[in-house]
Copies of this chain bind each other. A is one copy, B any other.
Amino acid sequence: MAGPSFRFGQHVLQSSCVFFKSRLSIGFVNRKPVVPGHVLVSPLRVVERFGELSSEEVADLFMATQTISGVVEKHFQSTSLTIAIQDGPEAGQTVKHVHVHILPRKSGDFPQNDEVYEALDKHDKEMGEDGKWRTEEEMAEEASVLARYFNCQVDSC
């Protein structure tokens, strides 16, 4: 999908990875999902900490998170969701741009339920440090499938 790119902290996101756009937020797939359907939601404005968001951005970000959560839970046939923000470096944040992790959860997806968080922390720490990222094509394909649920193309919505 051709179209604009988006900022995600120090990174540039191709629009092909973005499957949801509201007035103030975007939803996008990530290079190294901890579980199938692990996606991220961010404010469009590059803001490092949660406390810096305006009320309008907070409302928009979590309404986007709720909408996207419902879709990934359905699409990935999960039964629960882990929703988390690592807000600041001591909480494991590495990309300096507020982002909500949404992880569809299923019974037995980790040997112990809380291991999802260990995987989440490793995910962030290792971002860019190994060669196990998905290809742009894989990511674009997933984003394109998810985008259909929202009845919009990122370029136009």
Q: Mark A25-65, 1 if CB is under 8 A from B, else 0.
A: 00000000000000000000000001101010011011100
| Count of residues in A whose CB is under 8 Å from the partner chain | 42
Asked if B69 and A50 make an inter-chain contact with CB atoms under 8 angstroms apart, the answer reads: yes
Decide if A53 touches B79 in the complex (CB within 8 Å): no
Chain A, 99-139, contact with B by CB distance < 8 Å: what is the 0/1 string?
A: 00001011101000110111011100000000000000000
The docked-state distance in angstroms from the alpha carbon of A85 to that of B80 is 11
Check if A91 sits within 8 Å of B105, measured CB to CB.
yes
B87 touching A84, Cβ below 8 Å: no
A101's nearest neighbour on chain B, judged by CB, is B84
A82 beta carbon closer than 8 Å to chain B: yes
Residues of B within 8 A of A59 (CB): 58-59, 62-63
Please name all residues of chain B whose beta carbon is closer than 8 Å to the beta carbon of A81 when the two chains form the complex: 50, 85, 87-88, 91
Contacts of A50 in B (CB 8 A): 66, 69, 81, 83
